[in-house]
Amino acid sequence: MNAIETTDLTRYYGVLCAVNHLTLSVNNEIFALLGPNGSGKTTTVLMLTTLLTPTEGSASVCGHDVMREGEMVRKSLSYVPQDMAVDIKLTGRENVRFFADLYGVPHAADRVDEALAVMELSDRADDLIRTYSGGMRRRLELAQALVHEPSVLFLDEPTIGLDVAARKRIWEHIRALRKKGMTIFVTTHYMDEADQFCDRVGIISRGQIAALGTPAELKARLMKDVITAKVEGMFALPDVDGIAFVGRNDDEVSFTVENGREALPLLADALKKSGCIVRSMSLREPTLDDVFLQAVGRQEEPHGFEFDKFRIMLRRRK
């Protein structure tokens, strides 16, 4: 039995299909759902946590059906939403105690102490939340989420708005929970964090999975190097053997190649010949950003789009 299982999970808001036949299994891992704004991440999490009813398809958490066994599902999981889930007029301890009582946790006082200690908040437990830093508030939300010892944890953008050190600390805690056997489902916009800290990644675009695998597997789908060129004006995608288009981001176009050093001058030449001004070019190893651009970019092109024959008009810089 997988901790999270979905089959053709679908959700419409009126005529808009926000999640479109999502089939996914997640178990004993940190799984990251990545996707552009409005791609269906939160809608997916809301259905899995029983806060929103699917339009079609099915899903289960710890073997319990989200529609028929809502109460059992809610007992097995915790959900930390993107927006603040703590009451700033209460102390850290009072916040966690509130959740412990909500879930009817036995020996609540001890469990509250334990959850606060795990999140390294014992020394500030009796201070008001409004005196906490952003990172401490996020850790307190995790303490709240852990107090009833769930098997599955859903985190919507767990590190958004935090500084680098606080983000790293949150991820250390998430990794520690994973080591203890918890299944963790996160959404994030930070590709580098997904790459570094998550076991598997699903890229969602317009409600559908566009790429799925470990960060290493996904990066291995590209060739060995990535060349990014900043260009101005019109250009045609070069028809050079061994150079494949990854995607474009405003005036930046990326290509993947087997041998970057060899391809760089060929690509520069081909771009210039096609009529654009090449401002700069850089060479590096593939990242999840490239995987994301390729997966999402391709999906957003019209069906049957042929990159190699298409001329791209780029916005001229003023």
Ligand X SMILES: Nc1ncnc2c1ncn2[C@@H]1O[C@H](COP(=O)(O)OP(=O)(O)OP(=O)(O)O)[C@@H](O)[C@H]1O
Give the interface with ligand X as residue ranges (CB under 6 A). Answer: 13, 16, 18, 35, 37-43
| Residue 10 binds which of ligand X, Mg ion, none (CB < 5-8 A, kind-dependent) | none
| Residue 150 binds which of Mg ion, ligand X, none (CB < 5-8 A, kind-dependent) | none
286, 254 contact by CB (below 8 A):
no
Least Å distance, CB 156 to ligand X, is 8
Least Å distance, CB 40 to ligand X, is 5
Decide whether 160 or 314 has the Cβ nearer to ligand X.
160
Task: Dig out the tokens for 39 from the structure.
Answer: 């791609």
Binding interface with Mg ion (CB under 5 A): 41-42
Least Å distance, CB 150 to Mg ion, is 21
Decide whether 35 or 238 has the Cβ nearer to ligand X.
35
Decide whether 40 or 238 has the Cβ nearer to ligand X.
40
Decide whether 46 or 264 has the Cβ nearer to ligand X.
46
2, 200 contact by CB (below 8 A):
no
3-state secondary structure of 20: strand
Tell me which residue of 262, 233, 229 sits closest to 246, measured CA to CA: 229
- CA dihedral (82, 88, 92, 94) in degrees, to 10, reads -110
The burial class, CB within 10 Å (0-12 / 13-18 / 19+), for 131 is: exposed
Least Å distance, CB 77 to Mg ion, is 18
Residue 275's region, left for phi above 0, alpha for psi from -120 to 50, else beta, is: left
Phi, psi of 190 (to 5 degrees): -90, 100
Task: Dig out the tokens for 76 from the structure.
Answer: 């097995």
Least Å distance, CB 157 to ligand X, is 7
CA distance 298 to 305: 9
| Residue 37 binds which of Mg ion, ligand X, none (CB < 5-8 A, kind-dependent) | ligand X
| Residue 13 binds which of ligand X, Mg ion, none (CB < 5-8 A, kind-dependent) | ligand X
Decide whether 40 or 260 has the Cβ nearer to ligand X.
40
